[in-house]
Structures are given as C-alpha cells and as structure tokens.
A = this chain, B = another copy of it.
Amino acid sequence: MDNERAGCAEVLWGPRPAPRRGPKPALSLDQIARTGIGLADTEGLPAVSMQRVAGELGFTKMSLYRYVPGKAELVALMADLAMGEPPTLDGTWRDRLDAWARALLPRFVQHPWVLEVTIGPRVPGPNELSWMEAAVAALSDTDLRGGERLDAVVVLVGHVRSIAQQAAATPGDNPEQQLGSTLADLLRAHGDRYPAVTTALSDTETPDQALDFGLARILDGLATLITHRTT
C-alpha cells in the first residue's frame, strides 16, 4: 500500500548507513539518479527504464535494485535532484517572490519531465521543500497568516508550472512549430466555434511575456491584500 511512500521517504530523506561488510558498492544513488536525469533530459521520460539507466552505467538492471527499492523511488530522486537548491533571495517580499519564480522556471524548462512526475500526492524531497521554504520565508515580513503564505506560494508555483508547460509545448528553436500549426489548423477548420480564442491567438507572445504577465498580476493581487491589511 504505502510501501512506496515509505520507500520514497527513505530514499529521499533517510540516512544511508555505509555497509560494514561486503564489496564496496560500485555505484551511488547520486550517480544513478544523475544518469536517469541525463536520459530523461535528452530522450524523454519514457527512455528512463531500469535497463537503460543500468546500461548507461555499464551494469545490469538488477544491480540498481541494490540502491533503489523501485522505479518510482528512482524517479522521485531524479526529480528532487533535478530541482536543485533555491537561490538566496533578498529585497522586499515582492522582489524576493519575483526572483524566486524567475529562478524556478528554468528548472522546469530544462527538465520538462519533472512536471509530469511531480503531480498527485507524493513525498516532497529536500530540495522541493527548500524551494517551498524560500518562498514562504519571503513572506515573513508581511502580516499574512501561515495558511495564506502557503496559498500564495501555491499560486506562484502553479503559474510557473503553467508557463513551463506552455514553453515545452512551443518548441521555440524548432522551425516547424508543430503544435502551433496543429492548433492553427484546428482553428482554421473549427474556428467558428471558438471565436474568442481565434482572435486572441492572432497576436502571439513569447513564454517570457506570459511569465511576466501572470507574475505581475499575482504579485499585484498579493500587494493589494498585504497593503490593505497592514493599514
């Protein structure tokens, strides 16, 4: 049942006592996870199989199970490692949250598979909690209640995820923007049913502009609440 949760928690958080007897382990959790990250970055998440990861390292797949209880735990480890540590922030709460969101986006863009993996109930890893901590701490100076601070961070991360997702959908450097043309074809065929979307899509924007727009709106909304409460 929740053995997976326990396994994730143990692999992500648990201290791994160095074994006293037996051969020295030829691999390490870090090494395995980074191999999986490289594989997922270059060839996509489906390419990450025990076979491929082990093969990339020059070992058999079963050897990986000496380090990781299962694939789910490996993926969780990969995701937390790929997120890295949050940057140090300073300035007003608004400056800090702005910088936080702008630092978070490239992580998701460079590792798009993290979006697919970090949905649904799961055990957060140390790095994921560090990102959360940094954002919540940015609101320490405000009069927001604890739950409100968490909610504010949820709004921010939701927006960053949306932008990262949309950035992954528009292949940018790919000259034959497939989805764009597919959507364009769709609207050309059924555009009469979606007039507002059709006209709105006429002026295109870059993902950067989309990030800026939502970020400014969210921070504006937070600002109105914060200033109205302190007065």
Contact = CB atoms under 8 A, between A and B. Distances in A.
| Oligomeric state, in copies | 2
Chain A interface main SS type = helix
Nearest to A162: B158
A204 B147 contact: yes
A121 B201 contact: no
Interface residues of A, number: 75
Interface string A128-143: 0110110011001000
A119 to B, nearest CB: 5
Contacts of A147: 200, 203-205, 209-210
26 contacts: A5-B182, A9-B182, A9-B186, A13-B186, A123-B179, A129-B190, A129-B194, A132-B197, A136-B196, A137-B195, A140-B196, A146-B200, A147-B200, A147-B203, A147-B205, A147-B210, A150-B200, A150-B201, A150-B205, A151-B214, A152-B214, A154-B210, A158-B158, A158-B162, A221-B221, A224-B224
A46 to B, nearest CB: 11
A222 interface: yes
